[in-house]
Every structure is written in C-alpha cells, then in structure tokens.
Amino acid sequence: MNRFDEMQETHSAYFPIYKSATEIVPYCGDKSQMLEDFVVNQIGSSKGIRGYSLRKMYELVGGDWQGILPVIAAVEMHLASMYCFNVAADSKTGYVTAEKRATAFAVRDITFNLALGLLSQISLPEEKVQKLKDSFKETDKIFYQSETLDVIANIHPVLDVSDEEIKERYGIDPALARETLERFSGSSLDEKVLFRTYGVNAVMFENLGRVVAVLKDLECSDIEALTSFGRNYGLAMMIINDVQDYSLDLARETTREKNHSDVFSDLRERKVTWPILFYDDIDSVPFGDCGYEEHDAFREKLCENGVIKRTVLEAMAYSKIAVHSLSQFPDCDAKRKLIDSAFSISKLSKYVKLLERRYNVRLVPSKGDVNSRLREIAAT
C-alpha cells in the first residue's frame, strides 16, 4: 500500500474515535457549533500527517498501530486545539471580534482536555498514561512559548500590554508570555526564528517519539533516534510552510487550515519567517497591508534573487538530518515510508514547484549544496 493510501486507512480508523470524543461535550451554543464545523468537519475530516507519522514510528519499533488508535486520535485532537488557537490569535483568519475569539479559545481548551481524555482510553498502567499526558502538556507549553514570539512579539516587542489583553486577545497565559519575552530578550533573530519554528510545529513531531517511547519502553538510543527524526522532520515542514505563504494563491487546493486568501498573511502580520530571515534588507520588507501588487512584486524578488531557494535548502538539510536519524533501524516498510515523507515534504513540495513554474526559476538546491549546508549545521 502506498503512503497516501495508508494515510487514508489510518484516518478511517482513528476518526470515529476522534469524532465520538467531541460528542460527549454538553451542548453549548457557539462552542458546540465550532466543535462540529471546525474541529470535526474541517480539521478532523482530513487525513492527518501527525497521526500517520505516529503510526509509522510505532510500526518501526514493532508495534501494532491498531492497538493505539485512541492515542493517534489524541494527537490529532491536540493539533485541533492548536488550530483553534490560530483562528483566534491570527488576524488572517477573520476571527476579529472579541466574542468569536473567546469562543475559539474556549474550544481550544475543550479540545486539549479531550486529547488528554483520549489518552486514558488506551489500556496502560496509570503511570504510563500520566507520562503521556505530561508529555502532551509540555509540548503544549512550548507551543505557546513559540506563539508568544509568533503572534505577540512582532507587534509588542517589549510586551507593553496588560495581562488582561494578553489573555483575552492572544489566549496565552500572561506569566508564560512575559517569561518567554524575557528569555529571548537578548537572543538573535536567527535564534528566535528557529525556536518559533521548533515550537509551532517541530515539537509536536518530536513528541511522537516520546509517545512511542512510553508505549514501547524503548532504550535511550531509540528514543533519541525517534525524537530527532520528529524534531528535524517538523522543522523542515515548518520551513516549507513559510514558503507556502507565498504560493497559496497559485494552488488549486490548499490545506485544511488555510485558503487562497491567506497568501502573504505572514507579511501582513509582520512575521519574521525563514524567507525574511534570509533576505538581505529586512528594513525594506513590505510588512503590513501594502496590497497584493506590492506583495506579489516582493514574492518575485524573493524567487529571483535566491531567497526562496536558500529557504528550501534549509528545509532539505533538516529533512536529511531527519532521515539520518533513522539509520540505526533495519530496513522495513515503516522506515521507507518515514524517509519518503521526510524527503517529499521539502524536495517535492508542490508549493515550491508552483513558484518555479510561475517565475521559471530553479528553487530546489543541488545535492552538493545540501551536503555543504549539513556540514555547516554540524559545525554549530
């Protein structure tokens, strides 16, 4: 069975568990409507790469994925809670009223608690279940630390806002937000962007390795291998996600959380993403609501002067690190599928190909360039 058919098979198996978890929540107006429309019908209805990755990582160490379906559902429910946060905290989604934001943040809390509840459905000693829950909670904490940098620091670099506004407008614990801003106050832009990339996406894939470690009582070397794969795979995916922001309007179909109108949303929200990090004149970046034509011209410049290619190079390097992390495991179907996923997310990204066709430029770096970048990363 190919990777995409397996993803569909995985989704068909865990989705009934995922959906039934939301049905036990007492009816409560707009919150219940959002659970049905967004959490179940929009986010939950698409086959999830995180749930599928957990399946293949579990199979890699000899596990039967059919026996951990509640955990797979929990991973996807945890993701749904993060998406609920995104639609409330990111202005690009249109959730601009205080009432709508409050609803989305409330559903965020509901879905995270549902994710923890799903972990209790698997037959494990209570000590192991608690370890799984603690791992999810730590992952969630890191996510909101990174979101502090992603959605607050770009607008309020010194966090000159009240605790009430941090909580109500951004849905982040004020103490955690201030602690995060203080932690990164002296950090370089590179360090901030890397942590934002890790926390927004990579930490969740890293957590899959920790989950498998608890489920299978893995040795330290196997835990490090799986968490390294997840972390670096997640970094590559998020870097390509930053490129995706420049090509959403060129695609026939987008993703389950974005649509065509979200193109250039990172620029509109003044977010310093990987393409901006590699741009040599950050003061001239057209941040804000400059209009489509100015953003479109900037996109062309990024493609033609090598910035997007440099960004894809970074993603491909992390993909290769992820693949190398699995070298200790014997060849098998699960390993091949994970490797295929890691390479395809960067080298074969449709969003990169769309930009190549639009501007008639080559944006995928050579193997030699990737190996050279790997040596640079290893040296640091």
User: Nearest-CA neighbor of 53 among 241, 177, 234?
Assistant: 234
The per-residue pLDDT for 93 is 46
Query: Exposed/middle/buried for 192, CB within 10 Å: 0-12, 13-18, 19+?
Result: middle
The per-residue pLDDT for 100 is 86
The per-residue pLDDT for 137 is 98
The per-residue pLDDT for 89 is 82
User: Which helix (H) or strand (E) covers residue 13, if one does?
Assistant: helix 3-23
- At position 262, the amino acid (one-letter code) is D
Query: Considering the chain, what is the average pLDDT of its residues?
Result: 90
The per-residue pLDDT for 146 is 94
Domain limits of the chain? Answer: 219-380
**pLDDT digits over 269-292, tens only?**
888 899 999 999 989 999 988 889
The per-residue pLDDT for 17 is 96
Question: Which parts of the chain have pLDDT scores under 70?
Answer: 90-96, 154-159, 252-261
The per-residue pLDDT for 231 is 97
The per-residue pLDDT for 378 is 86
The contacts of residue 27 (CB under 8 Å, 6+ apart) are none
